[in-house]
Structure 1
Amino acid sequence: MSPMNEFDHLKIRLKDIKDATENFGVDMKIGGGGFGPVYKGKLTLSSGRRAVVAFKRLDPRFGQGNTEFWKEIMLLSDCKHENLISLLGFCIEGEERILVYEYLSRGSLDRYLSNPRLTWNQRLKICVGVARALTYLHDPRMTQRRVLHRDIKSANILLDAEWTPKVSDFGLSKVAPANQPRTYVISNGVGTPGYCDPVYIETGFLCKESDVYSFGVVLFEVMCGRLCCEYRNGQLINILVPRWKICCDKNKLDNIICPGLKEQINKDSLVTFSAIANRCLSRSFEVRPTMAEILKNLEVALEQQNFNPENSALLEIAKLAIPPISYTSNQELHSRLTKGILIDGGQTWVSVNKNGRIREMISAVKCVSGGWFVSDTADDSRFSNIQSGILYYGFKISGRTQFLTSNVTYTVYLVFKCDNMNKDTHVPFKWKLNSETNYSTSCLTLERGNGWLMSRLYQFTSHRKDYDFGIEFMLPTQYSRTMFYLEGIEFKPMEYVD
């Protein structure tokens, strides 16, 4: 089967394209590149939907021909990713070779590099999207083929109305085996000056790290707010990449960062971003990171940029942790707090649920009074000390929370252990709030693990992070000689999922 037959379902008539572009009218032209001019127009797709699309018309004088034409069709028909340009069809009639793509209204990234209104946060999101696309091309999950783009540059990164990036222009791409730790393809050096891996240009050895170098140049362009090459009268006069790398090596980023961006950038985000960009430009293949590693670092840089330590309850809690905890992003901080930390001299335990709601537990040593209790230890407790004793009389729990989440309904539990008790019975406590007259009997026990039981007392909706509580407990006479171990009082959001 010939390539034309295999992809026949994508074929579009030349007449329909001419109608859509007003016979390739000047007013319909939106750009051009190494392949030829690009036009836009409305076209009825095979699905019956009418949409604005982009037509890339091959001009043989630009040096690309049938080989590049079919390569792009075959690659984009096989590779599907939200950050890759979508091929909608093609036309091959007579001398005409036309590729039809989804239309991306904002055009290419190179148009916006110097515009400070393209915020650092938006720039990071664009870089993350491109990194996801290249990770997909370099490390496919479903096939044994690795796609090497060979012409990564800001002009080949297109943007839709929502600033979602799409990698385009696969005419120079190479396909290589993906089941090897490093893929080398020997070929004549091609690409765009300034972006092309110098080792590839000198030796002809192409590998996935060559794309990494080119993407590193794009990352510096995004940070510096300008193209990597300077031209005069259409002639290349200077490549800025070596100077950018020297400034980065010497920690002189202020000399090259786009002036309109400096005030926007979180310091930690800049450190993470510039470090991974600099590694991409390493002379040695072995030092350059993989696309998966680049993606991870860019996601951290984005998280750091969005991390607002001011007015953050999580940060306030983290500062009090015993022992201190370290973190570099919201995500990492949240992950640490979901496991729970000790604060307040080790007498309060705090954790965060998946919805960001605070769960707080106050140790019995801090809040229990009355009764015949002594300080004790338990290896399986959240606290270093608990209260233990035989309850001849009642006892009281009182105190104040510190970190409850506002406008959340909490359930209050007494956490304890006791000897010789059937876990299927009601908890043997009677209790009342200080403001009440009559005692209530608590509900069935819940097992937390390691023998600790949770007695559900009551519920309330928090209106602020600090909540004053006072509860009195008494014990029926049949439990008057039972040994009890009190761990503390816990305030648990109703939606909490362990």
Structure 2
Amino acid sequence: MASSIAGIAHLQISLQKILTATNNFSDKNIIGKGGFGNVYRGKLEHDGKMIKIAARRLDRKYGYGDVEFRKEVSALSSLQDTGGIVSMIGFCDEKGEKVIVNQHYRKGSLVMYINGPNGPSFTWKQRLTIAEYLFMAILTIHSDIGKEYIIHRNINSSTILLDDHRWPILSGFEFSIKIPMEQKKRVILSEVIGTKGYIDPAIEKYGGVTYKSDIYSVGVILFELICGRKAFEENRLLAPLAKFHYENGTLKDIIHPDLLDQVEPKLLNKFSQIAYSCLEDDPALRPDAEELLEQVVIPDLVLKVSCFRCVRLEESPDVTINDRLPEGTAVWQWRRTPYGRAMGEFDSLLSLLASYAPDRDNPDNWKWSMASDGLFKVNPCC
């Protein structure tokens, strides 16, 4: 069957390599379980180096098989090297085994951080950043990809993984469908499918899905982030609960106190209005991903170099970027972008500064790191 997945033969990985990487699908290597089957961690040689992988092994007892496998491989292969989308290393379709091999994201999934016994794990600021980057990923799949776009159909807090910087990575494409761009406004006939708590009620009403069904799921996730509550817990759905309290002006009653203490009322009102708009009963009234981004985009950050010896950076919103560094001062305008691009921009900044810094020949003095919220943290070394 692998040969029937056209154009991506180069992504095939032998079963023997996967068995070696996962220690013969050892139970000790299981890092997750889902509707597709078990997920195994492992190490695999790829492009000449050993990398950490997550191997998703199809288990037919869950009712899924060739169709779901083909859909996910097809979707991920068309999204290769796309920011915010899970990175597929390859796939295996051999001797009855169907395995999708992705990059391993060791921070787990978003559902692990919504709430917990000690309260919410993420700050309000981190939650807002996650929302922005999630919108970017949704915009990617809903945009023109080879004259097609993708409806995910199973966006939820478990299919959103987190990279080392805790930026969201969209995964779980086994139910996804590719649709010609000219049909974007049509309802696509489909059964009701997805994860309880995130499924668009309009699917049953209209007999199919649109890309706005994904937006409904995003709205549920936004209320999870806002309230510090999961989409379905204690036998209760969050979406109708959040809508009820929003419409009655009592949303604060269901927000975790730790989060409520962190957020300004104006920002809470704006963020909750965005979430509510995603849950509109009429899909046509819901915003698309581009409109969501326009509402929450984080402004550019301008950093001023205040010390060349230790490359100490200070936030300086009242200065602009210079094409050429004047002696003794420098600024760098950095658009907060996820998935490695910002890191590359900062590398470029360091390279640029190196020609001016008095200790440019001593790389040990260039001490910097990236904080979990995406902002740069530079340690003085003077």
Q: Does TM, normalized by the shorter one, top 0.5?
A: yes
Q: C-alpha separation between the residues in 2 aligned to 1:5 and 1:229?
A: 39
Amino acid in structure 2 at the alignment position of 1:273:
F
Report if the CA contact (8 A) 2:229-2:238 is conserved: no
* Cα-to-partner distance string for 1:174-208 (whole Å, 9 max, x where unaligned): 11122356132011111112101001023322111
Q: Larger C-alpha radius of gyration, 1 or 2?
A: 1
Length-normalised TM-score, structure 1: 0.58
* Cα-to-partner distance string for 1:204-228 (whole Å, 9 max, x where unaligned): 2211111111110011011111211
Q: C-alpha separation between the residues in 2 aligned to 1:183 and 1:138?
A: 14
Once the 2 structures are TM-superposed, how far is the Cα of residue 4 of structure 1 from its aligned partner?
4.6
Amino acid in structure 2 at the alignment position of 1:132:
M
Q: C-alpha separation between the residues in 2 aligned to 1:267 and 1:219?
A: 16
SS of corresponding position for 1:268 = helix
Q: C-alpha separation between the residues in 2 aligned to 1:277 and 1:209?
A: 13
Once the 2 structures are TM-superposed, how far is the Cα of residue 258 of structure 1 from its aligned partner?
2.0
Query: Given the alignment of the two structures, is residue 75 of structure 1 paired with residue 79 of structure 2, yes or no?
Result: no
Q: C-alpha separation between the residues in 2 aligned to 1:6 and 1:243?
A: 46
Report if the CA contact (8 A) 1:138-1:178 is conserved: no
Q: What's the % identity of the aligned pairs?
A: 36
**Judging changes above 3 Å, is the alpha-carbon distance between structure 1 residues 143 and 92 closer, same or farther for their aligned structure 2 residues?**
closer
Report if the CA contact (8 A) 2:3-2:9 is conserved: no
Structure 1, gaps ≥5 residues long: 232-236, 307-333, 335-351, 357-406, 410-498
2:199 to 186, 196, 201: 196
Structure 2, gaps ≥5 residues long: 302-316, 323-327, 331-382
RMSD, matched Cα: 2.3
Which residue of 2 is the match for residue 297 of structure 1?
295
Report if the CA contact (8 A) 2:141-2:150 is conserved: yes
Report if the CA contact (8 A) 2:150-2:179 is conserved: yes
1:127 to 125, 131, 137: 131
Q: Which runs of 4+ in 1 moved over 6 A?
A: none
1:284 to 257, 282, 285: 282
Q: C-alpha separation between the residues in 2 aligned to 1:28 and 1:22?
A: 8
* Structure with the higher helix share, 1 or 2: 2
Q: C-alpha separation between the residues in 2 aligned to 1:72 and 1:239?
A: 28
Amino acid in structure 1 at the alignment position of 2:261:
E
Which residue of 2 is the match for residue 432 of structure 1?
none
* Cα-to-partner distance string for 1:389-421 (whole Å, 9 max, x where unaligned): xxxxxxxxxxxxxxxxxx989xxxxxxxxxxxx
SS of corresponding position for 1:22 = coil
Amino acid in structure 2 at the alignment position of 1:277:
A
Q: C-alpha separation between the residues in 1 aligned to 2:112 and 2:272?
A: 22
Amino acid in structure 2 at the alignment position of 1:106:
K
1:454-465 → structure 2 map (5 Å cutoff): none
Which residue of 2 is the match for residue 39 of structure 1?
40
Once the 2 structures are TM-superposed, how far is the Cα of residue 159 of structure 1 from its aligned partner?
0.4
1:122-271 → structure 2 map (5 Å cutoff): 122-140=126-144, 143-180=146-183, 182-230=185-233, 237-271=235-269
Once the 2 structures are TM-superposed, how far is the Cα of residue 353 of structure 1 from its aligned partner?
4.8
SS of corresponding position for 2:283 = coil
1:91-490 → structure 2 map (5 Å cutoff): 91-114=92-115, 115-140=119-144, 143-180=146-183, 182-230=185-233, 237-299=235-297, 302=298, 353-355=319-321
Amino acid in structure 1 at the alignment position of 2:266:
D
Q: C-alpha separation between the residues in 1 aligned to 2:329 and 2:131?
A: 37
SS of corresponding position for 2:268 = helix
* Structure with the higher strand share, 1 or 2: 1
Q: C-alpha separation between the residues in 2 aligned to 1:127 and 1:242?
A: 20
Q: C-alpha separation between the residues in 1 aligned to 2:13 and 2:3?
A: 17
Report if the CA contact (8 A) 1:176-1:183 is conserved: no
Once the 2 structures are TM-superposed, how far is the Cα of residue 269 of structure 1 from its aligned partner?
1.9
Q: Pick 1 or 2: higher relative contact order, CA cutoff 8 A, min separation 6.
A: 2
Amino acid in structure 2 at the alignment position of 1:27:
K
Which residue of 2 is the match for residue 424 of structure 1?
none
Q: C-alpha separation between the residues in 2 aligned to 1:104 and 1:211?
A: 23
Which residue of 2 is the match for residue 421 of structure 1?
none
Report if the CA contact (8 A) 2:151-2:211 is conserved: yes
SS of corresponding position for 1:188 = coil
Length-normalised TM-score, structure 2: 0.75
Which residue of 1 is the match for residue 63 of structure 2?
63
**Judging changes above 3 Å, is the alpha-carbon distance between structure 1 residues 6 and 286 closer, same or farther for their aligned structure 2 residues?**
closer
